[in-house]
Amino acid sequence: MDISTHAAIQRETLTTDGRLYQQADLRNSLFNEVNADLTSRCENSFDLAALVALHAVTVLFERSSHPDLEIFRIFEEAISILTEKMTTSFKRFRARGFRDKATDYDPAVRTTNIRAKHKREGALAEKQNRENTSALLELRDIEDELKTLQRLFGAQKAAINDMIERYKSWSSAGSMGNALGFLDQAIRKLDEYLLHTKKMIESVQSTRDDFDKLLQMVQRQAQVDEVRLARLQADLASAQSRSVMIFTVF
């Protein structure tokens, strides 16, 4: 059974839709496969309905070649970039801790402008905190989007399982042709998508938790820095007082 231009799916691809829409167009995908691939010809309406369900599941994830439509790759790259940012932020935080410990025991530092140094460090820490917070918000957005996909795949799987049950109950009344094969293939694809999405959600949650821990450590470090600044200022004031006293005595 061929699909003509007057088939039930009437939405035509317009030139104004652009290449992305044309690649993800369900009607074009069905038309091209049914009329070009002899192995996918539909023998009856059950086959056609099952093929429509299969293409509705896979047209965006399997049948498009444009890089902007590679949904899973886009998510994976975004997660990878944010994970790298998190690793860099941890290394920067650790390096700053080593520098602070070194300057605590450097006598020359005690005569410098401590407040100016603290101000510079505070400005740098504030910038890094903004970057870390922005990355954390991006991760939460990605997690929400992945969970939306997860719910979509779950709803599609439930609908196709319902179709399979109905087709099996009707199979005694007439031939199902290739219908059950199309539906089984759709279920396998959805299981792959659900597993892939679950792994990405777990990766996002792990990176998000690491960012949360980093922000907590940065906050605690800021409190420690305030105490350290107060101690250094007190030590400097005490040293200046002793200098004045010695000058006065002698």
pLDDT in tens, 214-246: 888 887 777 777 766 667 666 666 666 665 555
pLDDT of residue 57: 92
Confidence of residue 11 (pLDDT cuts 50, 70, 90): very low
pLDDT of residue 97: 62
Query: What is the amino acid identity at position 5?
Result: T
Distance (Å, whole) CA 165 – CA 183: 11
Question: Residue 175: CB partners within 8 Å, gap ≥ 6?
Answer: 43, 44
CA angle at 105 for the pair 99 and 106, rounded to the nearest 5°: 85
- Alpha helical stretches, state H, 9-70: 18-23, 26-36, 45-58
Q: Please state, in angstroms and as integers, the Cα–Cα distance from residue 117 to each residue in 145, 219, 236, 248, following that order.
A: 42, 19, 14, 31
In the chain, what percentage of residues exceed pLDDT 70?
A: 63
Distance (Å, whole) CA 158 – CA 150: 12
pLDDT of residue 114: 59
Distance (Å, whole) CA 250 – CA 238: 18
Measured from the Cβ of residue 104, the count of other Cβ atoms closer than 10 Å reads 12
Closest CA to 211 of 77, 73, 84, 75: 84
Distance (Å, whole) CA 134 – CA 244: 50
113-168 pLDDT tens trace? 656 666 666 676 777 778 888 888 999 999 999 999 999 999 999 999 999 998 88
Q: Report which listed range, 17-21, 193-197, 207-211, is most confident.
A: 193-197
- Exposure string (b/e) for 3-41, b if CB count within 10 Å is 16 or more? beeeeeeeeeeeeeeeeeeebbbebbbbbebbeeeeebb
Distance (Å, whole) CA 149 – CA 202: 14
Q: Which two tokens stand for residue 64?
A: 């498009």
pLDDT of residue 235: 64
Q: Please state, in angstroms and as integers, the Cα–Cα distance from residue 40 to each residue in 33, 174, 182, 244, following that order.
A: 7, 19, 9, 96
